[in-house]
Structure 1
Amino acid sequence: MESDKNSEEFYDKLRIQLEDTSAWPSVYLYKFIVLTNKSKIIQIHAIFDNMGAVINTKESKNGKYTSVSVNVKMADPNAVIAKYKRVGKEVDGVISL
């Protein structure tokens, strides 16, 4: 339960930073790292499907990990955080940067 509290504190701080530093709606850059696995990358693509997102992937030097960058126009900080939470819930082992 402690990690849930820490997560909520993290998201509360992120929400404040986003409100203070951007005018909304705004283009936001998400960055994720997953083990190189086509199904995990497809899951991330599906979460941002039909949003006009520009998604780029790059494998690590040894091919074990893949970074996924998503540029997408978001309505507000709450929408940004909702996507982070959805990716974290649906994509096993994802690291959000």
Structure 2
Amino acid sequence: MDQESEAFYGRLKEELQNGTEWPSTYLYKFIVPSDSDKTDRIEAIFDNTGAVIETRKSKNGKYTSLSITVHLENPDKVIEKYIEVGKVEGVISL
């Protein structure tokens, strides 16, 4: 992980620790090019976590948005999932 990513995740962890009681429910939002392989890979990352995953294609069908609501134990678990999803090519995290 590069220094910029480390700094970002460090700030995110601090905000999550200070602003949320853990364990807690967290909402992830991602946008990916509409490719079933990419959405399947993201869904697999959250498999067996009890996550609720909603997908919606853009008007022209070129992109798919994913809203993933999942109950997690602590901020480290939130960041772990962001890092895993970040390995999927073309993903934009919101």
TM-score by length of 1: 0.94
Distance 1:76 1:53 in 2: 15
- Asked if 1:93 corresponds to 2:90, the answer is yes
Match of 1:53 in 2: 51
Alpha-carbon shift at residue 9 of structure 1 (Å)? 0.5
TM-score by length of 2: 0.97
Distance 1:69 1:10 in 2: 21
Identity %: 56
Structure 2 segments unaligned to the other structure (5+ residues): none
In the TM superposition, structure 1's runs of 4+ consecutive aligned residues that sit over 4 Å from their partners are none
Distance 1:72 1:53 in 2: 4
Match of 1:18 in 2: 16
C-alpha offsets along residues 11-55 of structure 1, whole Å, 9 cap, x if unaligned? 000000000111000000001100001111110110000110000
Q: CA RMSD in A?
A: 1.0
Match of 1:82 in 2: 80
Which of 4, 26, 47 is the matching residue for 1:6?
4
Q: How many residues matched?
A: 94
Distance 2:86 2:19 in 1: 24
